[in-house]
Structure 1
Amino acid sequence: MVMRINLDCNSCCRKMRRNILNMKEIEKHLIEKQQNRVSICGRFKPSDVAIKLRKKMNRRVEILEIEELTTHYEAQHEHSIINHYKY
């Protein structure tokens, strides 16, 4: 998920990083201060994470992009099922 949030200074970035690291459902994150973007990966509900960050940061959070990723095992399993029923 990619979000836009106003990160004015270095202390805002540190606060954002600390809040993200305290969320157990987030596995990876990337904070882009110049573009005011935060990218996160993990197993979570996007609206729940956005609401939590809005409350903790006391700033408006805008969800730009949500992408669902399948793991390599799931993609391989789906592929084998498709090939199994192919006549």
Structure 2
Amino acid sequence: YFCMVMRINIDYNGCYIKVKRALLDMPLDTHLLEKNQTRAIVCGRFIPQDVAIKIRKKTNRRVEIL
């Protein structure tokens, strides 16, 4: 079971929606998007690198695991 914090460039509303949609498509227990801090927190049973790669491919945004 993992909880992972990622930094994602969410500079406008379209990016926020793209990232949210990408997170909803994944089998995660919980997720939280903080628009002001440009962070996403996800919890569940997953491989952290796989989640970061999937988000990067779907949103075309740089994802940094913190």
TM over 0.5: yes
Could you tell me how far apart the structure 1 residues matched to 2:56 and 2:18 are? 12
**Higher share of residues assigned strand:** 2
The alpha-carbon deviation at position 19 of structure 1 amounts to 0.7
**Higher share of residues assigned helix:** 1
Could you tell me how far apart the structure 1 residues matched to 2:63 and 2:22 are? 14
Greater relative contact order (CA < 8 Å, ≥ 6 in sequence): 2
Structure 2 alignment gaps of length 5 or more: none
Is 1:14 matched up with 2:34? Answer: no
Mark the structure with the bigger radius of gyration.
1
Q: How many residues align?
A: 63
Structure 1 alignment gaps of length 5 or more: 65-87
Output the aligned Cα RMSD.
0.7
Moved >4 Å (runs of 4+): none
% same residue: 62
